[in-house]
Structure 1
Amino acid sequence: MNKTELAGFKSRIEARLADLAEHSASEKEAQSIVELEQQAVGRLSRMDALQNQAMAKAQQANRDIETHRLQAALARIQDGEFGYCEDCGDEIPEGRLRIDLAATKCVNCASG
């Protein structure tokens, strides 16, 4: 992989990390504690609010996992290891990296 392609992947990773951070910041309120207000909110509305909170927390957990994977990909770029399979050392096809920027294994090793 040449320097231009590597720079392209790096900028895509950084853009995705910024997007994830923006989503996390905008979703903070949805993850906050659901207040118990008997007069203002009915039982079904509270259940709906709790379900929405749980979904927001699950989405945040998924964003955290993706953020961690992308930060590891940036570290691999820094170390000169990006684009190489962590198991066999072969080059990961560029098409696979376009689909999953944080891919750490070639197709053969990933499929078992």
Structure 2
Amino acid sequence: MTEDEARAVLLKRCEELDEEDRISAEGRAPVTLQQDSVGRLSRMDAMQVQAMALASERRRAAERQRIGAALARLDDGEWGYCLGCGEEIADKRLRHDPSVTRCVNCAGAG
């Protein structure tokens, strides 16, 4: 995978994460207490949906951080090299996830 291909994949994934944030905004909204129209179980369901949406938001934030770090490594000419041993990361691994920071050996050891 070339650096240009990696950059394009990473930026496209950022756009997808932004779209996922937009779509899930309603699910992350605070659950209001409406005793007259919503029963206790419905409110509990809404709270569970909110908790799952917030967990997904945290996962997207973590992925954005990994993508940002990968883009910085691209800018610095360090992308594609293992942060553990300094060796090149296998192309197949980078194609699967251009934001990876470690080769297979170092990822398995840590």
Do the two structures share a fold, i.e. TM-score over 0.5? yes
Offset at residue 25 of structure 1 (A): 1.8
TM-score by length of 1: 0.94
Q: Which residue of 2 aligns with 1:62?
A: 59
**AA at the equivalent of 1:83:** G
Q: Which residue of 1 aligns with 2:83?
A: 86
Q: Which residue of 1 aligns with 2:6?
A: 9
CA distance in 1, matches of 2:80, 2:22: 31
Alignment pair present for 1:97 and 2:94: yes
CA distance in 1, matches of 2:22, 2:68: 18
Q: Which residue of 2 aligns with 1:41?
A: 38
CA distance in 1, matches of 2:55, 2:19: 16
Corresponding residue SS for 2:34: coil
Paired-residue identity, %:
47
CA distance in 2, matches of 1:100, 1:8: 12
Offset at residue 101 of structure 1 (A): 1.7
Task: Note the residue ranges of structure 2 that are not aligned, 5 or more in a row.
Answer: none
Offset at residue 39 of structure 1 (A): 1.1
**AA at the equivalent of 1:23:** E
Q: CA RMSD in A?
A: 1.0
Task: Note the residue ranges of structure 1 that are not aligned, 5 or more in a row.
Answer: none
Query: Which of structure 1's runs of 4+ aligned residues deviate more than 2 A?
Result: none
TM-score by length of 2: 0.95
Q: Which residue of 2 aligns with 1:51?
A: 48
Q: Which residue of 2 aligns with 1:74?
A: 71
Higher relative contact order, chain-length normalized (CA < 8 Å, sep 6+): 2
Offset at residue 38 of structure 1 (A): 0.6
